[in-house]
Amino acid sequence: MDSNYMHQLCMHCMHRYVGIRTHEGHCVDGFIAGIEGNDVILAIPTEQMEERMMGMPAEMNTYRQFGFHPGFFPRRRFFGRRVPLFGITDLFLLPFFL
């Protein structure tokens, strides 16, 4: 695909949860956080919060014993990853559930 077309597509999907397949066959999913030059910056969610809760169910009544206040929910952590625009073969939207 044309690099300019992929740039416009990424701009249209900014801040959305997407899946990306590269020419090498790698697949990554994350939120498009920005575009810098010829790179797409993805914010990829980690499973850090689930590991900290040691497999406990993430329900409202279990937050009390971990010291969370009502209305406050633990937030997921993200790390950034650069993917070159010219290396992207497929870009597709994915559903994201809280």
pLDDT score at 40: 95
Kindly report whether the global pTM for this prediction surpasses the value 0.85: no
pLDDT score at 98: 64
- Averaged in consecutive runs of 10 residues, what is the pLDDT profile of the chain (98 residues)? 86 94 92 94 75 50 50 68 93 85
pLDDT score at 63: 47
pLDDT score at 3: 80
Cβ atoms 40, 32 nearer than 8 A: yes
The residue among 39, 40, 32, 36 whose CA lies nearest residue 15 is 32
- Domains of the chain (ranges, CATH numbers): 3-93 (2.30.30.100)
d(Cα 25, Cα 27) in Å, to the nearest integer?
Answer: 7
DSSP-derived 3-state class of residue 6: helix
